[in-house]
A = this chain, B = another copy of it.
Amino acid sequence: MSARTIEQHRTAVATLLAPLRDSRATETLPLSAAMITARPDDYRDRTLAEALTSPVFLPPFDNSQMDGYAVRAADLRTAGPTAPVTLTVAGPINAGDAGTPLAAGTAAPIMTGAPIPAGADAVVPIERSDPPRFYPAHTPGTVTFSAPVSPGTFVRARGSDLGSGDRLLPAGTLLRAAQLGVLAGTGLTELPVLRRIRVLLVATGHEIREAGTPLQPGQIYDANSVILGQALQEAGCTVFARPCRSDDAADLLAILADAPPVDLLITVGGVSAGAREVVRDALGPLGVGFEHVAMQPGGPQGFGSIQLPGAQRMPVVTFPGNPVSALISFEVFLRPVLRRLNGLPHPDRVLHRAALAEDLESPAGKHQLRRGIRSADGTIALVGGASSHLLHAYAAATVLVHLPVGVDRVSAGDPVDYWSIDD
C-alpha cells in the first residue's frame, strides 16, 4: 500500500464532511442579555443560519444627537451675532419621553437620544444657547440664539442606520458583540443559528483509564478524550466523549449504538497492525477504509461512512492513538474543515517562515511536523523529539514546524515553514 499525501487525505476528509454544510438543521436561540450572560457557551462563535430583514427602522424615531434645544429652524432664520433671536422655553424632553409638539416661537430642552418633537427640525447644543445651561425643571424662561441652524442639524433621522425591510445581516454572519447588538436593537427575540456540528468522540484502548481510578500495571490515563474533546469544542463543535476501554469490536459497536445522534464519528487509536485493533475490527467491515499518509506523526489514518441500524449514514474519521499523533491529525485534517463548517473565522492557520535554531534530520519520504517555540531572536527552537508520545513537550510548544517530503536535513539557520498553535 503506497502512502497517500497529506493533500490527498485532507481533500478526502473535506469531501466526506462537505454534506454536513447542508444537512444540519437550524436551531433557535433566545436573544436577550439575560440568556447571553447566563449561558455564554450557547452564544460563543455562532453564525446566522439565514439572512434577516429588519422589521423596524433604526433609530425608530428622529432623536437628538446632543443635549440642547429642539427648535424650528425657520424660527432662527434671521439669527446672527448682532440679531439674536429669543424663544420661549417649552417643557423639557428626556430620553424615553413620548414628546409633545413644539409650538412656533418656542425651544424645548432636549436630552441626547430623546425624540425630536413634532414641529421641531433641528437641535442647537446647549453650549451654543444663552444662557448656556438648562433652567431647573418647570422654571419658565426664555433662551437666546445668535446663529441660524440648518434643518436636520444634530438630528439622528429615523432609519438613518437601518430601514425597515432593509437587509439586517446576511446568512453566515458570525455573531459577535456588534452583530448581536444590532439584532437586539431591532427587537428581535430569537436568533436562527446554525446548529453546531455534533461529534461522537471515541478514544479506544484496553489500557486507558479515567482519571481518579487507580492504575494497574500497563494502564494509562485517557488523555485523548480530553485533548480532542477540547480541540473539537474550540473548532465550534458539540462533543459527546464515550471512551471505549476495550479491544473488543463488540464493545465499540455497543457504544455507537447507545450514543446520541451525531453528525460525525471520530475514533482515536485501534488502527495499527496489532493482533486486536478495535477500530479496524469494528469499522472495517462496515466500510471504513484505513490508509497510511506520508506524514510523521499521524501516519495511520482512516475514513469512510457507516450505517448503524436505525440511524442515518454517518461519516467517520479515525485517528492514530498516540496523543501527539491524534492532535496533529486533528490540526491537519479536521480543524480547517470543521471551523469552516461551523462558520468560524480563520479556518486555516497562517504559514510563516523563520530560521531553525538547530540542525535537524527528517525522514525524506514523509512530511514531518515537529513541535517548536518561537525564540526571542525570531528563530524557531525545537521542543521535544520526533516521537509521538511526547505530549508534555507539545504542551510547551507554540508552533508546529513543517518539513516537507523530500527534505532529509535542515541546518541551523535554514528557513523552515511553521504555523502558530498558541492562539
Task: Give A contacts to B, CB under 8 Å.
Answer: 31-34, 36-37, 39-41, 43-44, 58-61, 65, 67, 92, 94-99, 109, 111-115, 126, 134, 137, 156, 160-162, 168-169, 173-174, 176-189, 201, 203, 205-208, 210-212, 215-231, 233-234, 238-241, 243, 247, 272-276, 321-323, 327, 330, 345-346, 384, 387, 389-395, 397, 421-423
Contact = CB atoms under 8 A, between A and B. Distances in A.
Given A111-B275, A390-B161, A393-B161, A181 B212 contact: no
A384 B160 CA distance: 10
Given A33-B226, A36-B230, A184-B223, A218 B98 contact: yes
A297 to B, nearest CB: 11
Contact of A211 (B160, B189, B208): B189
A89 to B, nearest CB: 12
A274 B177 contact: no
Top 10 A-B pairs ranked by shortest CB distance?
A96-B207, A96-B206, A33-B225, A181-B227, A41-B41, A111-B274, A177-B231, A185-B223, A184-B226, A33-B241
Contacts of A98: 216-218
A38 to B, nearest CB: 9
A123 B33 CA distance: 60
Residue of A216, A233, A327 ringed by the most chain B CB atoms within 10 A: A233
Contact of A218 (B97, B160, B389, B391): B97
This protein's copies in its complex: 2
A261 to B, nearest CB: 16
Contact of A389 (B156, B275, B422): B156
Given A40-B233, A206-B94, A223 B181 contact: yes
A114 B203 CA distance: 16
A229 B33 contact: yes
A229 B126 contact: no
10 contacts: A31-B226, A36-B230, A36-B241, A37-B233, A37-B240, A67-B273, A111-B276, A174-B422, A182-B223, A185-B223
Contacts of A33: 201, 203, 222, 225-226, 229, 241, 243
Contact of A178 (B39, B95, B395): B395
A391 B161 contact: yes
A256 B206 CA distance: 55
Given A65-B387, A387-B156, A395-B182, A36 B218 contact: no
Residue of A67, A205, A391, A423 ringed by the most chain B CB atoms within 10 A: A391
Given A60-B220, A111-B275, 10 more contacts: A67-B272, A95-B206, A98-B218, A178-B397, A180-B230, A181-B327, A184-B222, A185-B221, A185-B223, A345-B423
Contacts of A99: 217-218
Contact of A226 (B67, B181, B321, B392): B181
Nearest to A385: B160
A109 to B, nearest CB: 7
Given A218-B98, A222-B33, A181 B395 contact: yes
Contact of A161 (B114, B212, B222, B392): B392
Residue of A168, A181, A241, A243 ringed by the most chain B CB atoms within 10 A: A181
A61 to B, nearest CB: 7
Contact of A391 (B181, B187, B215, B392): B181
A37 B201 CA distance: 10
A220 B389 CA distance: 58
Nearest to A276: B94
Contacts of A156: 387, 389
A201 B36 CA distance: 13
A20 to B, nearest CB: 19
B205 A113 contact: yes
B115 A218 contact: yes
Contact of A217 (B36, B61, B134, B218): B61
Contacts of A36: 226, 229-230, 233, 241
